[in-house]
Structure 1
Amino acid sequence: MWLTGKLVPDHKTIADFRRDNAAAIRTTCAQFVELCRRIGVLKGDCVAIDGSKFKAVNNRDRNFTKGKIASRLTHLEADVARCINEMVRIDRQEEGEARAEKVAHLARRYGRIRREIERLKAMDKALADAPDGQISLTDPDARAMATSARNSGLVGYNAQCAVDAETHIIVTHDVTNHGFDR
């Protein structure tokens, strides 16, 4: 703190530094672990692996699987049927300007639902090419993961560390989009 005159970098400065120097940071970490092995500090007899899940920018509503798409399509098809039934009812029971406004409103709603159905069907086709059966729209690399809380999960990443059990030195680290520690 005294060396920098109590200047503190903001989160963007740190993020930019990590992004701009990612290869150098990885190399430095690997060299440090190798140095610890050579001087005998790091034996590596037993390592502990643990991960922490971090939420991505992607919302759960913008992450799709086959099941999610099928469920949404079922709901949207039911909405289409309700719209059509309501239009038929209005045609039979109402007249005049009120009828025209209601039918126009339902027609716009019907169009929005149809466009959403087409979008989901296109996404379902794209999902066939996805190796892990998921598509995340906002952050393409993020994946849905279960968490320890009941019936919950998040769309994000799993930061994993392998730590030497004796010295507590981080041997290796990685950020993955797999929901389990390996």
Structure 2
Amino acid sequence: MATARLVRAAGCGLRPSCTSKSYRGVTRLENEAVLDRMATRLEARPDILNLRRESVEHPFGTIKQWMNQGAFLMRRLENVRGEFSLTALAYNIKRAITLVGVPGLIAAVKA
């Protein structure tokens, strides 16, 4: 939700040529301070975004591309969470099979 701050512009002689209103509204998102802090952190360490792309974005790209999970089929947050939990479980099992193989996964489950 955006909030507006009203500023009185009484002493400006050019005001009638710019606007007919007696105030100027400045719109800012409710959580824009969080976005500003994130932008400041990214400016300080631009390499961190590349690290995130390497470690975090890969599973989501894999889920979307290999598992045909482009959009959620369910509605409402609780249902979407359940759907994504099942998708993440399938991704984790597929990844474990790739890393340790089926015999290794069965041995780990039995242990």
Q: Same fold (TM over 0.5)?
A: no
Q: Which has the higher strand share?
A: 1
- TM class by shorter-chain length? 0.3 to 0.5
Question: Larger Cα Rg: Structure 1 or Structure 2?
Answer: 1
TM-score by length of 2: 0.32
TM-score by length of 1: 0.23
Q: Which has the higher helix share?
A: 2
